Amino acid sequence: MKKLKKIFALVAVITMLASMMAAPVFAESYKYEKEAVILNQLGLMAGYGLGDQVNRVQGIIFALKAAGKADEVEAMTDVEAAYIVSQYVVDAAQVPDWGRKWVAYAVKYGYTSGVDASVAPKVKFAPMQKMAASEFLVWLMNIGMGYKVGTNNSVSESRNAGIISLGQEIDLRVKDALIRDDIAGILYGACKNGVCADGRTFIQSLIDAGFITEVAAIAAGFIEPEAEPEPEPEPDELEVVEVSTTNLKQLFVEFNLSLKDAGDESNYIIETDDAQAVIDEDSNFELSEDKKTVIITLTEAAAQQEVIDLTIRDIEAENGLMLDETTIEDIELKDTTLPKAVSASVVGQYTIKVVFSEPIMIPEEGDDPDLYFTVDNGDYLIEKIEKVNNDTELNITLFSGLEEGTVKVEAKPAIKDYAGFGITKKTFDLKVKEDKDGPVVVSYKNAKPTEVTLIFNEDIELVEKADLDDEYSDDYLEMFYHTNRNNPASSLKVSGKELTIDFTDSKLPPGQAYIYIAEDAVQDLWGNTNKKISYVVEVSKDNDPVTLLKVEQEDESTIILTFNKVLDEATAEDIDNYTILDKNGKTDKDIIDDAVLGKDGKTVTINFTEELYGSYSIVVQNVEDLVGNVIKKTTKSFTMKDMTIPGDFEARIYNPGKKGQTLKVNFNDTMATDGRYSVLDLEKYAIILASGKTVSLDDMKGVSIKSVDNNRAVEIRIPSSEDVEKKKNPERYVDFYDFSDTADYVKGGVSYISEELIITRVADASGNKTASNLNYVAIALSGQFGLKNSEDAVALTDKNTITITLNDKITTYKSGDFEDAVYYYNEKTGKDVPVRVTRPRHTINSDGLSVITLTLSGWNSTEVSFDGKTLMVEVTGASSKNAYGEAVKIPETEVVDRAAPEVVGVYYDEDRNGEGYIIVEFSEELDPKTYAPNSKNGFSVSGGSAKLESVELDGKYIYLYGENLKRTTDVSYNSVFGLADRERNTVKSFTWTDTLKDF
């Protein structure tokens, strides 16, 4: 405090001295004219009367003000001052009225001993006497610079302190009185070179006191500006510095350069398959103020001490540098810090906001809100609790409105973070004061062609409530637009103070764009609506390419492609833009049925025409985003696994009660043969006996099990009484059981015994586990085997071919069993009509099952039922057998249509005006649902100047119209457009180059 007083005292001395006898202009040329001008500009002097002398009464006033005694002097009464001067100052009559208090105060407290010691203890002050340099320097150095000098050494010490030069010292010593020009020289020297007793420069002390600024001091030439440090060279590569976390819900990704934007879920991929942490389209990505750190709020929090690998890609720095794909491994998400309730505020008539130190778990639906908060000791009932701002804030909504005054909110320890740590109980006393002002926009973020997020000064809500699909009416969306009313919003989303406006259907232009919100479109939580809002945003031009992020299997015939951006629907759903390659790199033609763009715009579902298994790759090209950026040709591998839950097991007993008694279990799927869910684990099998008792096969000594049929079945050898009797070492078999050899019941032409098999949970080779922990399987007697349990077991695959897939492998094959297997039922005659089979062929498929292919003569249609005729198959009394000696038996079965429509012919005709058109005839009617009006539907023409303009469907005929269509015109069709019959068998690609016949 003393040092501060000295600084202010010095300022006062300088100011008082500088203002003495100011003159408007220089009377004559003086030595320190330029210096005086600078001091005036800095406020260290006032006026330019450089030739005026300085007297002692002025000096004592300067000194007392410099010592901070001005208030005490002014507090002295006139009576007291007059008494002191009259009693103790021998030359009182010479003291001017305006200086009386100052002289009286100095005398009273011993600040002056006068000019004549002989009159002590009285004082001869000599108020009008001129002032010497030694006296002025005493005041300057002692009061303002912290020294202790006297008139005998002040001049020499001032030179040591850098205030005056040697030349000035010589001049001042021979002067008996100072003029203002001398003071200008002294003050300028003090500012330029003077050093205080504490080691600071005099000018720095004035800067520290706030009397002048550093900028002004630099401009005056009193100090040299600090040299700007050499800027560190900017990195020539964008890199990830580190990925850190302080809780289980957020990741902090630090970069070495400022970023253009934070990115989104396409830029950050968790590579750990079993991670609990999830980053997806519902995650939040925020860029820090320095633009070097991205805060990711996860959709699903990590488990405590979970370790993940994070891949970061396609991030751009402000200077245009792109990040090379980077994977940060072994990131441990750990939370050891207790969460805190940091603050609370009333944000609406019914709403209180509580802010936390980290993301907080939202209370479960149905939980009592009073477990988490109490408002005014329960006087206010809580309706709901909602999270905002990345789970770091909870909004408490009350059933009744808050009354003006104060309200007490208690946050309770039941409020927990994602590590399960509860907060310490915290109570807030809040003022309730009604807000009468509507919300206003204060800033924005993430301005892209397809969306922008506006940030309001307070929490808001939309005036219209969304429907069950979170969609708003067109009239309401038109209240939010850009540029003009022809560009309305496509959708809206609110989170606390943030409003995200989607402009997918009317994109924002790059550069400056005006966002408009009509009056009364949004409101704060007090119910105050907005006035019309117009806000300027800077929309960054989107030049980022489309990137395929991942390929995931949905089921055996479906994959889902995830892209980094919202896609253009036409290019995303054009199956010509996708090619499937097998494991050898060969194109799998006609395998893609369709491509469907997801609701989020970033996913494409690819449906295949059949189930796929094994390793594949997909090639993607020509897919665009909403602003025309195109994906570079990309190839990504994927694996198709069996995802069907195993079930529909079958069991059959062979040699019941006899030697070699064997129970065969057919799983109809390739099963796991090791691990927890192995089908070779006898503990998983039990028999419910005819008596009702249940026996575990693992408890029966002598039972053995092995896998057969490429792990699609098991054989379980269960000792019978004959096995025990006929073994040379009967002690080896102490357990046996004889299965029934007579039928207990018949179902679907199959005889079943009274015993039943129980199989506990098992899994297929792809890891799919049975839905139930206990699977009950009826046991059939041996005798025959038949069709695979599939709707396609008997199928017409083209106009003269039927395939039959059996549920076992034929080991003894007799072709004659199938030569009379096909017939059709004629509804008109009520009779069965045989269809000749010219060539039955037997093959084994990849599942180890027999497939019989029948070539027909007398059936020339891609339909299985037409004109009252329905194609059927039946096999009885066959000699073809499996390894167990069972004969093939196929009951009367209707053939399934899996034959695609075929082209019968392509014809030429002319209309009444002589304009040519072309007709394509198919073997059966096409499904109108697969035909698209106003589309060419995959057809094209070539040759000469032929031009196709329109395509029409009429039953089994396609009509092609256009210009210059002739008999020599070539016609082509591309199957990717998906024309099909009513069974959804798609027409194959073709090109017709023969001369067209007349229709």
Q: Is the pTM of this model over 0.75?
A: no
Q: Is the pLDDT of residue 20 over 50?
A: no
Looking at residue 446, what is its pLDDT? 85
Q: Which of 671, 685, 744, 763 is nearest to 718 (CA)?
A: 685
The whole-angstrom separation of Cα 937 and Cα 960 is 11
Q: What confidence tier does 320 reach under pLDDT thresholds 50, 70, 90?
A: confident
How confident is the model at residue 26, as a pLDDT? Answer: 42
pLDDT of 59 reads 62
Structure tokens at 439: 């919300």
What is the signed CA dihedral for 40, 153, 159, 205, rounded to 10 degrees? Answer: -50
User: What is the structure's pLDDT at 61?
Assistant: 64
* Percent of the chain clearing pLDDT 70 (strictly above): 93
pLDDT band of 69, cuts 50, 70, 90: low
Q: How far is CA 512 from CA 301, 448, 516, 537, in A?
A: 38, 11, 13, 6
Please tell me the predicted confidence (pLDDT) of residue 30: 81
Q: What count of residues does the chain have?
A: 999
Rounded-to-integer distance, Cα 855 and Cα 463, Å: 69
The single-letter code of the amino acid at 969 is T
Confidence label for 550 from pLDDT (cuts 50, 70 and 90): confident
Give Cα 368 distance to the centre of its chain: 31
Question: Average of pLDDT values for 616-642?
Answer: 92
If DSSP codes are grouped into helix, strand and coil, which group holds residue 215?
helix
Highest mean pLDDT among 21-25, 233-237, 490-494, 584-588: 490-494
- Mean pLDDT on 739-755: 88
Strand pairing class (522-524; 284-287)? unpaired
- pLDDT band of residue 24 (cuts 50, 70, 90) is very low
Read off the pLDDT of each residue in 572-579 and give the average, rounded to a whole number: 93
Task: Choose between 140 and 121: higher pLDDT.
Answer: 121
Q: pLDDT tens for residues 268-302?
A: 999 887 889 999 888 999 999 889 999 999 999 99
Q: What does the alpha-carbon distance between residue 592 and residue 604 come to, in Å, rounded to a whole number?
A: 13
Residue 778 clears pLDDT 70, i.e. is over it: yes
First vs last Cα of the chain: how many Å apart? 112
Q: How far is CA 251 from CA 263, 268, 338, 355, 454, in A?
A: 14, 11, 18, 20, 24
Look up residue 27 and give its amino acid: A
**Quick one: pLDDT band at residue 566, thresholds 50, 70, 90?**
confident
Mapping DSSP to helix (H, G, I), strand (E, B) and coil, where does residue 232 land? coil
The lowest-confidence range among 135-139, 548-552, 562-566 is: 135-139
Q: What is the 3-state secondary structure (H, E, C) of 54-117?
A: CEHHHHHHHHHHHCCCHHHHHHCCHHHHHHHHHHHECCHHHCCHHHHHHHHHHHHCCCCCCCCH
Cα four-point dihedral sign 963, 965, 969, 972 = positive
**Structure-token match 């991670």, residue found:** 275
DSSP E strands in 697-787: the ranges are 704-708, 713-717, 745-747, 750-760, 774-781, 784-785
Q: Return the minimum-mean-pLDDT range out of 474-478, 725-729, 929-933, 951-955.
A: 725-729
- Kindly give, in sequence order, each residue whose CB lies less than 8 Å from that of residue 117, ignoring residues fewer than 6 positions away: none
Q: What is the pLDDT of residue 726?
A: 61
Rounded Cα distance, 64 and 12, in Å: 9
Instruction: Compare 535 and 149 and report the one with higher pLDDT.
Output: 535
Retrieve residue 130's tokens.
């001129």
pLDDT at 452 over 90: yes
Mean predicted confidence (pLDDT) in 908-936: 93
Q: Which pLDDT belongs to residue 483?
A: 93
Q: Contact 327/311 with Cβ under 8 angstroms?
A: yes
- How many Å apart are CA 305 and CA 299, to the nearest integer? 17
pLDDT tens track for 635-669 = 999 999 888 889 889 999 999 999 999 999 999 88
Longest Cα separation, the chain: 159
pLDDT of residue 4: 47
User: Which three-class secondary structure state does DSSP give residue 167?
Assistant: helix
Q: What number is the average pLDDT over the span 581-589?
A: 88
Residue 778 in tokens: 């009826």
> pLDDT tens digit string along 188-247?
888 899 898 888 888 888 788 777 888 888 888 888 887 777 777 888 899 999 999 999
Look-up of token digits 């039946």: 874
Q: Is-cis flag, bond preceding 834, omega within 30?
A: no
Among 438-442, 445-449, 480-484, 695-699, the range scoring the smallest mean pLDDT is 445-449
The pLDDT assigned to 144 comes to 67
Which of 79-83, 112-116, 351-355, 772-776 has the least mean pLDDT? 112-116
pLDDT band at 45; cut points 50, 70, 90: low
Record the tokens describing residue 175, joined without a space: 């002067």
User: Residue 65 pLDDT > 70, yes or no?
Assistant: no
Query: What is the rounded distance in angstroms from the CA atom of residue 140 to the CA atom of residue 729?
Result: 125
Whether 949 contacts 915, CB under 8 Å: no
pLDDT digits (tens, 9 = 90+) for 682-720: 999 999 998 889 999 998 888 999 999 889 999 999 999
pLDDT of residue 51: 82
Instruction: Give pLDDT, residue 416.
Output: 92
Query: 400 is written with which tokens?
Result: 């009744």
Q: Which residue has the higher pLDDT, 542 or 300?
A: 300
Query: pLDDT averaged over the chain?
Result: 88
For 473-486, what is the mean pLDDT? Answer: 94
Q: Which are the contacts of 82, defined by CB distance < 8 A and separation ≥ 6? A: 100, 104
**Please, which residues have CB within 8 angstroms of residue 89's CB and are 6 or more apart in sequence?**
95, 103, 104, 107, 122, 123, 124, 125
| Residue 27 clears pLDDT 50, i.e. is over it | no
Would you say residue 11 has pLDDT above 70? no
Q: Rounded to whole angstroms, how far apart are CA atoms 981 and 969?
A: 26
CA angle 842, 846, 848 (to 5 degrees): 65
Residue-wise pLDDT tens digits, 833-889:
999 998 899 999 887 889 999 999 888 888 988 888 899 999 999 999 998 888 999
Query: Pairing between strand 351-356 and 393-398?
Result: antiparallel
Q: What is the pLDDT of residue 265?
A: 86
